[in-house]
Structure 1
Amino acid sequence: MKPKNLGKWRRTHLSQEIDSDLAGEKTTIMGWVTDIRDLGGIKFFILQDFSGTIQVTAPKAKVGKDILNEIDSISKESAVAVKGEIAKADQAPRGVEVVPSEIRVLNPAETPLPLDPTGRVKADLDTRLDARLLDLRRPKPQAIFKIKHGAVQVIRNHLTSEGFVEVYTPKIVRSATETGATLFPISYFEKEAFLSQSPQLYKEVLTGCLDKVFELGPIFRAEEHDTRYHLNEVISADIEVAFSTKEDVIDILEDLIVNIFEEITEDHEEELETLEHEIEVPEKPVPRITYDEALEKLNDAGMKLEWGADFSIPEQRKLREIVGGLFFITDWPTEIKPFYIMPHEDDSKLSHAFDLLYNEIELASGGTRIHQRGLLEKQLKNKGLNPKRFEYHLKNFEWGLPPHSGWGLGVERLTMALTGAENIRETVLFPRDRKRLTP
């Protein structure tokens, strides 16, 4: 079947905008064909668009043979446009259907399909990601990305209402923000450059002029993880605040997370139902424990760890059982945190760093930053980094850069928490990991 152009056809309604109150009105709908059935005296198919589905019904007594023949020729998942009349129909989903007067196949789908978008035939994650377009027509993936979109909008609206300025920092950088081992090198004309691990250094500088900044953007980590919690390209929500400490930005993060959970439960009830996932709005204050307290709780639970060790997923899962679903861990060992985190004044082995955990996953990390050039140079050396490679950054600290604090929140991990997705790849349209560079 030869594809047809839109011509003068234009969509008048999304499927979910059509209800029985519109019975008798004309409509033009566009989307993809899912189920097609022939019951002898009547033929019908389900048309799906981003908003939902609508039944297109063709009774032989009411439509011409050209319509019936057109339906016979349509393959599942073909893109079509339908002109017709809206009619009440008790037997149809939502009690309404469209009786077609004309059908235009805009692009027929080739069969057989690599997966079943209805979900009746199960497919593994790799198969779904290889045929991502078809996978994203399924109700559950669409629900995940509607919720992700909603969460990002809450982040942007909440921070803007709190006086933050949204910024956009470079994603091609000269040097590391954490360690050189996790950088993706790229060819940049005659120079070596890297994909940015974080907007960290830029957002710190911007506290010296814009006071409170945030960014929603991609970050890249060349880590060889192969877990359901890690990817090599993700979206991070970052803030940095002038004249503040870690306690101040913990409060901001706490308010934001609670707001996100509230908005998602209120505005995305249908999507949560589709996902068969329930979420509870966290209560404030969110529990806060120190690293030392967390270590003691794990040791008491039989998970023996040396001081200075980071926590694995099983250990974080155990802390969830002990402390609760959402909690902060503060005052981490300086040795396992980035060079820009401020050490404690009275004990340099401890730092003014914190993590926010939900169940067993780390959602966010942050802390008070170093704002003195001398101390920052010392910490760079302690981490095996050459201060000369950071000279462009260090000179800003000679120009009155204020004390500042901030955090970074993983949008995909947040989406996992909100949707119940078991693998972070389900929360990214086209995920990138060590094995996947396409599609």
Structure 2
Amino acid sequence: MAGENLENWRKTHSTGEIRPESGGEETIVMGWVENIRDLGGIKFFNLQDREGKIQITAPEKEVKKEILDKIDSLSKQSSVAVKGKITEADQAPGGVEIIPTQIRELNPAETPLPLDPTGQTKADLDTRLDARLLDLRRPKPAAIFKIKHTILRTIRESLILKGFLEVNTPKIVKSATETGATLFPISYFEKEAFLSQSPQLYKEILTGCFDKVFEIGPIFRAEEHDTRYHLNEVTSADIEMAFVKKEDVMEILEEVVIEVFERVKEENKGELKALEHDIEVPKKPLPRVTYGEAIDKLQEAEVEIDWGEDFSIPEQRELSEIMEGPYFVVDWPTEMKPFYIKPEEENPEISHAFDLLCEEIELASGGTRIHEKELLEKRIKESGLSPRQFKYHLKNFDWGIPPHAGFGLGVERLMMALTGAENVRECMLFPRDRRRLTP
């Protein structure tokens, strides 16, 4: 059945704007039908919108028969518009309800629904992602993305206040940023191109003119991992600064992350309550441990790991029990890090690199970059890549690229720490992994 047109109707209130003190006012609200009840002599349904829900109450003695018939014809999750009077009602959620004078069904929902949008009946993650629209009407998934909005806004505002310029770099590139093993090839007219793994090389170049830059955008990695921590398209918050070293950008990173924790705890109380999740704001400075010290701590905990090996998720989980809260691991082996990370002058086996971890999750990585062309070419070769592949990038190092440093922060992984989500797919509206390319 086709829906009705709005004609001259315009929404006057969202559910979050209606208070008991608004009693007696006329209103037009629009949203979705959450549930329908008939108690004999009185009919109800909850209208849900982005901000919450409000009870629509239709007593037989106060409304026309056509209103009662319309409520009987509604299906759950149909899109509706309701015109009526705001009325105080102690028994209603929020202490207020609307007595309808007109109801328009704008677009009916087909039944049965593939999942229960009230959240009372559990659904597995694949079912939820296949019916993402309905899933996002559930309280908990909606709360996650309201928190994500706060996270992105806080990162952006914090960096702008620190003097960073927001930039946008290409997402279709000619060559790898790190290694060709994690590239997604695409057909680009008569040429082969790739989806960008990182804005790294571009943001390095931009320090040569804008000094301090940041970008918040998608990155793509054709990783084989199919875990609850890995996706093939994620959101990365990247910065790069000129005339600094890793210690300077580590300070920027911890300030931004702490501010994100503070803002979410303060501004998203309702969402954290819906998620049944509490967060503790970390204090500055965040703890620092060298890679070598971390290896020693793991070996003392009887974890089998040798110097030169990367940390697995179980090993990161073990470290989190020792360190608690977000912490930095610094001074990584050079061979474990990308070619653009600067080795230490006195001990080239160690690099000026850092990772930021929280619980068992790696949130960010960064470091001081190489700005000397000869050393950069050497590290490219040592990484099994060809300098010819980076000829356009290397040209810039003939034109006074300054010393610089930066980091990349995984937004969805940060969300896991802030929302208690058990799977990173819950933190992406429409996730992409090895098995999922739709919706």
Regarding TM over 0.5, the answer is yes
2:38 corresponds to which residue?
Answer: 38
Give 1:376 deviation, angstroms. 0.5
1:205 corresponds to which residue?
Answer: 205
SS of 2:56's partner is strand
1:311 corresponds to which residue?
Answer: 311
In structure 2, how many angstroms separate the alpha carbons of the residues matched to 1:320 and 1:122? 30
Letter in 1 for 2:16: Q
Give 1:389 deviation, angstroms. 1.0
The 5 A counterparts of 1:3-402 are 3-402=3-402
Give 1:214 deviation, angstroms. 0.2
2:431 corresponds to which residue?
Answer: 431
In structure 2, how many angstroms separate the alpha carbons of the residues matched to 1:192 and 1:108? 46
CA deviation map 1:2-30 (0-9, x unaligned): 21122111100000110110000000000
In structure 1, how many angstroms separate the alpha carbons of the residues matched to 2:5 and 2:185? 44
In structure 2, how many angstroms separate the alpha carbons of the residues matched to 1:416 and 1:4? 41
SS of 1:194's partner is strand
In the alignment, structure 2 segments of 5+ residues that lack a partner are none
In structure 2, how many angstroms separate the alpha carbons of the residues matched to 1:256 and 1:3? 47
SS of 1:63's partner is coil
Letter in 1 for 2:438: T
Give 1:299 deviation, angstroms. 0.6
Give 1:346 deviation, angstroms. 0.7
Letter in 2 for 1:403: P
In structure 2, how many angstroms separate the alpha carbons of the residues matched to 1:407 and 1:358? 16
* TM-score, normalised via structure 1 length: 0.99
Give 1:394 deviation, angstroms. 0.1
**Mean Cα displacement is larger for which, 20-29 or 1-10?**
1-10
CA deviation map 1:17-65 (0-9, x unaligned): 1011000000000000011000001001000000100000000000000
State yes or no: 1:417 paired with 2:426.
no
SS of 1:209's partner is helix
In structure 2, how many angstroms separate the alpha carbons of the residues matched to 1:123 and 1:174? 42
Give 1:239 deviation, angstroms. 0.1
CA deviation map 1:419-439 (0-9, x unaligned): 000000000000000000000
In structure 1, how many angstroms separate the alpha carbons of the residues matched to 2:424 and 2:336? 24
SS of 1:208's partner is helix
SS of 2:152's partner is helix
In the alignment, structure 1 segments of 5+ residues that lack a partner are none
CA deviation map 1:275-297 (0-9, x unaligned): 00000000111100000000000
In structure 1, how many angstroms separate the alpha carbons of the residues matched to 2:323 and 2:339? 29
In structure 2, how many angstroms separate the alpha carbons of the residues matched to 1:14 and 1:167? 35
RMSD: 0.5
In structure 2, how many angstroms separate the alpha carbons of the residues matched to 1:331 and 1:86? 63
Letter in 2 for 1:16: G
In structure 2, how many angstroms separate the alpha carbons of the residues matched to 1:383 and 1:6? 62
SS of 1:106's partner is strand
In structure 1, how many angstroms separate the alpha carbons of the residues matched to 2:306 and 2:265? 40
In structure 2, how many angstroms separate the alpha carbons of the residues matched to 1:195 and 1:5? 42
How much identity, in percent, do the aligned residues show?
69
In structure 1, how many angstroms separate the alpha carbons of the residues matched to 2:172 and 2:10? 41
SS of 1:249's partner is helix
In structure 1, how many angstroms separate the alpha carbons of the residues matched to 2:323 and 2:419? 22
Letter in 1 for 2:239: I
SS of 1:83's partner is strand
Runs ≥4 in structure 1, deviation > 2 angstroms?
A: none
In structure 2, how many angstroms separate the alpha carbons of the residues matched to 1:249 and 1:95? 50
* TM-score, normalised via structure 2 length: 0.99
In structure 2, how many angstroms separate the alpha carbons of the residues matched to 1:9 and 1:230? 45
SS of 1:122's partner is coil
Give 1:138 deviation, angstroms. 0.4
In structure 2, how many angstroms separate the alpha carbons of the residues matched to 1:233 and 1:8? 42
SS of 2:209's partner is coil
SS of 1:207's partner is helix
Give 1:306 deviation, angstroms. 1.5
Letter in 2 for 1:132: R
In structure 1, how many angstroms separate the alpha carbons of the residues matched to 2:6 and 2:381? 63
SS of 2:208's partner is coil
Letter in 1 for 2:391: E
CA deviation map 1:369-421 (0-9, x unaligned): 00011111111101111100100000000100000000000000011111000
